[in-house]
Structure 1
C-alpha cells in the first residue's frame, strides 16, 4: 500500500490468513493512537518469540500502520523521512553496501546486520544509501 492509500493493509494478505491469538492481542494492546512504531513492533516479536514479519502481518490484519521506521525511511508525519543523505560515505561502508545489494537494492535486514557489524547506527547506513542513491527493500515487518 502506498502512502496515498492510507489503510487497506489487510488486502496484502489472503482472506484466510492465519493469525496467532497471542500476537493479535499483543499488537492490539501495544497500539497507541492506532499506530505502532517499528521499535515497538520488533520488541513485540522478540518478547513473543515470533518473527518481525509475523507481527507485521498481524498489524496489517488489524489495519495498524507502522511509524518511525528505525532506518528513518517512513513514518515521521509531514516530515516524511527521518534521514537525509550522508555528506560523505566511508569507502568501507560503500563497499559493504554494494556487496549486499540484491537486484540493486539493500534489504532491510542486511542494513541492520551491517550497522551492527560496523558499529554504526541503522540510520547511518540508511543515510549512506540515500547518498549512494540506493533504495532499501524488503522491510522486515512487510511494509515494503
Structure 2
C-alpha cells in the first residue's frame, strides 16, 4: 500500500528520528496508535506519518479500524453499525469520522464493527491510503 504523499521529503532531526525508532514494535514496525502519538511528539501532522515512516524504511501496522495489520477484533456492534449507516448513508466512511464516533464508545468497538461489516474506511488520517478499493473478504452485514 503506498502512502498518499510518497513524493514528500522530510528532513527529520536526529531527535525526531530517535523518537520514531524507539516507538517501534518487536517487528520494527510502528502501530497505528503509536504513529499518532509519535506525530504529536515530533511535532508533525498525523497525515504525514506514512510518508515519514516510508522514508525511514518503516511500515505502519495494526490499523485500529482493521484495514491492515493483525489486531484482534470483537464482534460487530449492531447499534454502532446502524448508527453509522444512518449517519453516513455510504459504505465508505473517512477514518477521522470513525475515530470521532469512537469517542462515544471505544476505538476497539468501532474498529470491530468496521472490520466485521460492509463499512469501508477512506482517507486514513496517517496518510496510508485514500480509499480502500474492493469488497472485504468474509464480511457479512
Query: Normalised by the size of structure 2, how large is the TM-score?
Result: 0.70
Number of the residue aligned with 1:18: 9
1:54-93 equivalent positions in 2, closer than 5 A = 54-76=48-70, 82-86=72-76, 88-90=77-79
State the distance in 2 between where 1:98 and 1:142 align.
27
Number of equivalent positions: 126
> How far off is 1:137 after superposition?
1.7
Q: RMSD in angstroms over aligned alpha carbons?
A: 2.8
Number of the residue aligned with 1:94: 82
Task: Give the number of the structure with larger relative contact order, counting CA–CA contacts within 8 Å between residues 6 or more apart.
Answer: 2
Kindly indicate whether residue 93 of structure 2 is the aligned counterpart of residue 106 of structure 1: yes
Normalized per residue, the structure richer in helix is 1
> How far off is 1:12 after superposition?
6.0
Kindly indicate whether residue 113 of structure 2 is the aligned counterpart of residue 128 of structure 1: yes
Which structure 1 segments of 5+ residues have no match? 2-8
State the distance in 2 between where 1:135 and 1:21 align.
33
Which structure 2 segments of 5+ residues have no match? 130-141
State the distance in 2 between where 1:24 and 1:63 align.
12
> How far off is 1:127 after superposition?
2.5
> How far off is 1:109 after superposition?
0.9
> How far off is 1:54 after superposition?
1.7
The runs of at least 4 aligned residues of structure 1 exceeding 4 Å deviation read 9-12
